Amino acid sequence: MQRKIKINNMWGEKIPEELLKKAVCLVLDEEKVKKKMEVGLVFVSSELMREINLKFTGRDSLTDVLSFPLQDGVGPAKDFLGEVIICPEVALFQARERGHPLEDELLLLAIHGVLHLLGYKDEEDEDRRLMEEKEKNILRLLGKNEDIV
């Protein structure tokens, strides 16, 4: 059975869907997640991202990525890992600031978000270093520049 990576592009601009799906699948493969596990990627405007951030984290600010892991994993959703919400407008700003293409920033955010779905944290330095190494590995596997991490 193939993995299902569902993309909901509410942003409306073109995104590299196939490359993003490949990146998510690589993360799941590298982390040895069962083959039938599904992940959702949702791309939203900055206004909607700010609303989502306020509603679910209590922070009235704009952010680049939020992850919502499925907690119980039972019933019809037992094979759904969760959703990663990405704001391409923030990603575009960050890509320009860091001097790389929007596609690379979107890839990094998708990888980062899926790692959070899998339980990885980045609040502590040691945890952040581990996540960064995993992000770099996936970028290398995709033939991308790992220095964007």
Parallel, antiparallel or unpaired: strands 65-69 and 80-86: antiparallel
The model's pLDDT over 9-50, given as tens digits with 9 standing for 90+, comes to 999 899 999 999 999 999 999 999 887 889 999 999 999 999
| pLDDT tier for residue 75 given thresholds of 50, 70 and 90 | low
| Tokens 């592009």, located at residue | 9
| Tokens 């890992």, located at residue | 81
Residue 1 has pLDDT above 80, yes or no: no
Domains for the chain: give ranges and CATH numbers.
Answer: 4-143 (3.40.390.30)
Question: pTM here?
Answer: 0.93
d(CA 114, CA 81): 9
Query: Is pLDDT larger for residue 3 or for residue 124?
Result: 124
